[in-house]
Amino acid sequence: MKNLNIQSNNLWLLTLSYSTIIVIANWFDARLIKIVNLVTDAGTLIFPLTFLLSDLITEVYGYKYARRAIWCGFLFNGLFIVYGQIVIHLPGPDYPNNNALFDAVMTMNTRVLLASAISYICAEPLNSIIMAKLKLRWQGRAMGARFIASTVAASGLDSWIFGIIAFYGMIQIEHLLSLILTMWLIKVMVEITGLPISVSLAAALKRVEKLDVYDLHTKFGIFSLDTHYTSGENRYLKAPGKTD
Protein backbone atom coordinates (compact mmCIF):
# COMPACT_ATOMS: atom_id res chain seq x y z
CA MET A 1 0.00 0.00 0.00
CA LYS A 2 1.39 3.42 -0.96
CA ASN A 3 2.31 5.85 1.77
CA LEU A 4 0.12 8.92 2.15
CA ASN A 5 2.41 11.94 1.90
CA ILE A 6 0.85 14.94 3.66
CA GLN A 7 2.74 18.20 3.16
CA SER A 8 0.38 21.02 4.04
CA ASN A 9 0.87 24.65 5.03
CA ASN A 10 -2.70 24.63 6.34
CA LEU A 11 -1.82 21.84 8.74
CA TRP A 12 1.17 23.75 10.10
CA LEU A 13 -0.97 26.89 10.46
CA LEU A 14 -3.54 24.92 12.47
CA THR A 15 -0.78 23.41 14.63
CA LEU A 16 0.83 26.81 15.26
CA SER A 17 -2.54 28.40 16.09
CA TYR A 18 -3.32 25.52 18.43
CA SER A 19 0.00 25.88 20.31
CA THR A 20 -0.31 29.67 20.53
CA ILE A 21 -3.80 29.49 22.03
CA ILE A 22 -2.56 26.99 24.62
CA VAL A 23 0.09 29.45 25.83
CA ILE A 24 -2.31 32.43 25.81
CA ALA A 25 -4.98 30.51 27.75
CA ASN A 26 -2.46 29.29 30.32
CA TRP A 27 -1.13 32.79 30.97
CA PHE A 28 -4.61 34.08 31.88
CA ASP A 29 -5.83 30.96 33.72
CA ALA A 30 -4.83 32.37 37.11
CA ARG A 31 -7.24 35.33 36.73
CA LEU A 32 -10.79 34.62 37.90
CA ILE A 33 -13.50 36.65 36.17
CA LYS A 34 -17.26 37.02 36.56
CA ILE A 35 -19.62 36.89 33.60
CA VAL A 36 -23.18 37.76 34.64
CA ASN A 37 -23.36 35.53 37.75
CA LEU A 38 -20.88 32.90 36.58
CA VAL A 39 -17.30 32.80 37.87
CA THR A 40 -14.61 31.23 35.71
CA ASP A 41 -10.94 31.64 34.90
CA ALA A 42 -10.07 33.98 32.04
CA GLY A 43 -8.29 31.27 30.08
CA THR A 44 -11.54 29.35 29.70
CA LEU A 45 -12.83 31.96 27.26
CA ILE A 46 -10.18 31.10 24.67
CA PHE A 47 -9.11 27.57 25.61
CA PRO A 48 -12.11 25.86 23.91
CA LEU A 49 -10.67 26.95 20.57
CA THR A 50 -8.02 24.26 21.09
CA PHE A 51 -10.75 21.63 20.96
CA LEU A 52 -12.09 23.13 17.74
CA LEU A 53 -8.63 23.15 16.15
CA SER A 54 -7.86 19.65 17.39
CA ASP A 55 -11.18 18.45 15.96
CA LEU A 56 -10.30 19.99 12.59
CA ILE A 57 -6.86 18.37 12.50
CA THR A 58 -8.24 14.97 13.53
CA GLU A 59 -11.16 15.11 11.10
CA VAL A 60 -9.13 16.10 8.05
CA TYR A 61 -5.56 14.89 8.64
CA GLY A 62 -6.05 12.13 11.21
CA TYR A 63 -5.38 11.47 14.88
CA LYS A 64 -1.62 11.11 14.39
CA TYR A 65 -1.28 14.72 13.27
CA ALA A 66 -3.53 15.89 16.10
CA ARG A 67 -1.28 13.99 18.50
CA ARG A 68 1.74 15.79 17.06
CA ALA A 69 -0.03 19.13 17.57
CA ILE A 70 -0.79 18.15 21.16
CA TRP A 71 2.89 17.50 21.82
CA CYS A 72 3.82 20.81 20.18
CA GLY A 73 1.42 22.62 22.50
CA PHE A 74 2.76 20.71 25.49
CA LEU A 75 6.33 21.65 24.55
CA PHE A 76 5.49 25.36 24.25
CA ASN A 77 3.67 25.22 27.57
CA GLY A 78 6.68 23.54 29.18
CA LEU A 79 9.04 26.18 27.83
CA PHE A 80 6.75 28.87 29.20
CA ILE A 81 6.82 27.31 32.69
CA VAL A 82 10.59 26.75 32.70
CA TYR A 83 11.40 30.25 31.47
CA GLY A 84 9.02 31.76 34.02
CA GLN A 85 10.83 29.93 36.82
CA ILE A 86 14.20 31.10 35.52
CA VAL A 87 13.01 34.71 35.39
CA ILE A 88 11.63 34.89 38.94
CA HIS A 89 14.79 33.32 40.38
CA LEU A 90 17.15 35.77 38.69
CA PRO A 91 18.34 38.65 40.91
CA GLY A 92 16.75 42.06 40.36
CA PRO A 93 18.31 45.53 40.55
CA ASP A 94 18.91 47.25 43.91
CA TYR A 95 16.69 50.27 43.20
CA PRO A 96 12.89 50.15 43.84
CA ASN A 97 10.92 48.13 41.27
CA ASN A 98 7.80 46.01 40.86
CA ASN A 99 9.57 42.66 40.63
CA ALA A 100 7.94 41.35 43.82
CA LEU A 101 4.48 41.86 42.33
CA PHE A 102 5.46 40.13 39.12
CA ASP A 103 7.10 37.26 41.03
CA ALA A 104 3.96 36.81 43.12
CA VAL A 105 1.84 36.54 39.98
CA MET A 106 4.28 34.10 38.38
CA THR A 107 4.50 31.98 41.54
CA MET A 108 0.73 31.57 41.60
CA ASN A 109 0.65 31.13 37.85
CA THR A 110 3.17 28.28 38.09
CA ARG A 111 0.65 26.16 40.02
CA VAL A 112 -2.00 27.05 37.47
CA LEU A 113 0.34 26.23 34.58
CA LEU A 114 1.19 22.85 36.10
CA ALA A 115 -2.51 22.16 36.59
CA SER A 116 -3.13 23.15 33.01
CA ALA A 117 -0.31 20.94 31.73
CA ILE A 118 -1.62 17.88 33.59
CA SER A 119 -5.24 18.41 32.57
CA TYR A 120 -4.13 19.19 29.02
CA ILE A 121 -2.15 15.99 28.51
CA CYS A 122 -5.11 13.98 29.81
CA ALA A 123 -7.98 15.76 28.04
CA GLU A 124 -6.62 16.77 24.64
CA PRO A 125 -5.68 13.22 23.54
CA LEU A 126 -9.09 12.02 24.76
CA ASN A 127 -10.78 14.62 22.56
CA SER A 128 -8.94 13.46 19.43
CA ILE A 129 -9.29 9.76 20.23
CA ILE A 130 -13.07 10.09 20.61
CA MET A 131 -13.22 12.06 17.36
CA ALA A 132 -11.21 9.48 15.43
CA LYS A 133 -13.01 6.44 16.83
CA LEU A 134 -16.49 7.89 16.35
CA LYS A 135 -15.53 8.72 12.77
CA LEU A 136 -14.73 5.05 12.21
CA ARG A 137 -17.85 3.80 13.99
CA TRP A 138 -20.20 6.24 12.25
CA GLN A 139 -18.38 5.94 8.91
CA GLY A 140 -17.67 9.66 8.73
CA ARG A 141 -21.26 10.74 9.26
CA ALA A 142 -22.60 13.26 11.82
CA MET A 143 -19.47 15.39 11.95
CA GLY A 144 -21.11 18.02 14.15
CA ALA A 145 -22.32 15.44 16.66
CA ARG A 146 -18.82 13.97 16.82
CA PHE A 147 -17.33 17.41 17.45
CA ILE A 148 -19.74 18.02 20.33
CA ALA A 149 -19.43 14.53 21.86
CA SER A 150 -15.65 14.67 21.96
CA THR A 151 -15.67 18.17 23.47
CA VAL A 152 -18.24 17.32 26.16
CA ALA A 153 -16.12 14.40 27.36
CA ALA A 154 -12.70 16.03 27.04
CA SER A 155 -13.66 19.46 28.39
CA GLY A 156 -15.32 17.81 31.38
CA LEU A 157 -12.16 15.87 32.19
CA ASP A 158 -10.03 18.98 31.62
CA SER A 159 -12.19 21.18 33.86
CA TRP A 160 -12.26 18.75 36.78
CA ILE A 161 -8.53 18.00 36.74
CA PHE A 162 -7.54 21.63 36.21
CA GLY A 163 -9.96 23.06 38.78
CA ILE A 164 -8.94 20.68 41.55
CA ILE A 165 -5.18 21.01 41.03
CA ALA A 166 -5.17 24.78 40.42
CA PHE A 167 -7.64 26.04 43.00
CA TYR A 168 -8.16 23.37 45.70
CA GLY A 169 -7.42 24.93 49.08
CA MET A 170 -7.51 28.45 47.64
CA ILE A 171 -11.29 28.81 47.42
CA GLN A 172 -14.18 27.17 49.26
CA ILE A 173 -15.37 23.77 48.02
CA GLU A 174 -18.79 25.01 46.90
CA HIS A 175 -17.14 27.80 44.93
CA LEU A 176 -14.67 25.33 43.45
CA LEU A 177 -17.46 23.02 42.28
CA SER A 178 -19.33 25.97 40.79
CA LEU A 179 -16.13 27.11 39.04
CA ILE A 180 -15.51 23.66 37.56
CA LEU A 181 -19.06 23.30 36.26
CA THR A 182 -18.95 26.83 34.83
CA MET A 183 -15.68 26.14 33.01
CA TRP A 184 -17.18 22.95 31.59
CA LEU A 185 -20.35 24.73 30.48
CA ILE A 186 -18.47 27.58 28.79
CA LYS A 187 -16.18 25.19 26.89
CA VAL A 188 -19.14 23.21 25.58
CA MET A 189 -21.07 26.37 24.67
CA VAL A 190 -18.09 27.77 22.74
CA GLU A 191 -17.89 24.48 20.82
CA ILE A 192 -21.61 24.57 20.00
CA THR A 193 -21.48 28.26 19.03
CA GLY A 194 -18.54 27.70 16.71
CA LEU A 195 -19.90 24.46 15.29
CA PRO A 196 -21.24 25.87 11.97
CA ILE A 197 -17.85 27.47 11.30
CA SER A 198 -15.79 24.43 12.32
CA VAL A 199 -17.90 21.98 10.28
CA SER A 200 -17.79 24.25 7.22
CA LEU A 201 -14.05 24.76 7.63
CA ALA A 202 -13.45 21.01 7.92
CA ALA A 203 -15.41 20.40 4.71
CA ALA A 204 -13.49 23.18 2.93
CA LEU A 205 -10.13 21.82 4.09
CA LYS A 206 -11.05 18.37 2.82
CA ARG A 207 -11.81 19.80 -0.61
CA VAL A 208 -8.62 21.87 -0.73
CA GLU A 209 -6.34 19.13 0.60
CA LYS A 210 -8.25 16.24 -1.04
CA LEU A 211 -7.91 14.49 2.30
CA ASP A 212 -10.33 12.70 4.59
CA VAL A 213 -8.16 10.47 6.76
CA TYR A 214 -9.58 7.52 8.69
CA ASP A 215 -7.45 6.00 11.46
CA LEU A 216 -7.92 2.43 10.28
CA HIS A 217 -4.59 1.11 11.56
CA THR A 218 -3.71 3.69 14.19
CA LYS A 219 -2.40 2.80 17.63
CA PHE A 220 -3.93 5.48 19.81
CA GLY A 221 -1.21 5.71 22.45
CA ILE A 222 -0.15 9.26 23.21
CA PHE A 223 3.57 8.52 23.53
CA SER A 224 4.40 8.47 19.83
CA LEU A 225 5.21 10.97 17.10
CA ASP A 226 4.39 8.59 14.23
CA THR A 227 2.51 10.35 11.42
CA HIS A 228 2.58 7.53 8.86
CA TYR A 229 -0.64 6.81 6.95
CA THR A 230 -1.30 4.70 3.88
CA SER A 231 -3.19 5.91 0.83
CA GLY A 232 -5.99 3.49 1.72
CA GLU A 233 -6.70 5.50 4.86
CA ASN A 234 -7.56 8.57 2.80
CA ARG A 235 -11.25 8.13 1.98
CA TYR A 236 -11.78 11.49 0.27
CA LEU A 237 -11.99 10.14 -3.28
CA LYS A 238 -14.15 7.24 -2.10
CA ALA A 239 -16.88 9.47 -0.72
CA PRO A 240 -19.97 9.93 -2.92
CA GLY A 241 -19.70 12.84 -5.33
CA LYS A 242 -15.95 13.32 -4.89
CA THR A 243 -13.77 13.58 -7.99
CA ASP A 244 -10.35 14.95 -8.84
Q: Does residue 205 fall inside a structural domain?
A: yes
Q: Does residue 174 fall inside a structural domain?
A: yes
Instruction: At 234, give phi and psi (nearest 5°).
Output: -95, 105
Query: Domain residues for 203?
Result: 9-228
Q: Does residue 157 fall inside a structural domain?
A: yes
Q: Does residue 112 fall inside a structural domain?
A: yes
Per-residue pLDDT tens listing for the chain (244 residues): 689 989 899 999 999 999 999 989 888 887 889 888 888 988 899 999 999 999 999 999 999 999 999 999 999 988 988 888 898 889 988 887 888 888 877 776 778 888 988 999 999 999 999 999 999 999 999 999 999 999 999 999 999 999 999 889 988 999 999 999 999 999 999 999 999 999 999 999 999 999 999 999 999 999 999 999 999 999 997 654 454 4
Q: Does residue 233 fall inside a structural domain?
A: no
Q: Does residue 241 fall inside a structural domain?
A: no
pTM, full prediction: 0.90
Amino acid at 177: L
Q: How many domains does the chain have?
A: 1
Instruction: At 137, give phi and psi (nearest 5°).
Output: -65, -40
- Residue 57 is part of a domain; what is its CATH number? 1.10.1760
Q: Does residue 1 fall inside a structural domain?
A: no
Q: Does residue 132 fall inside a structural domain?
A: yes
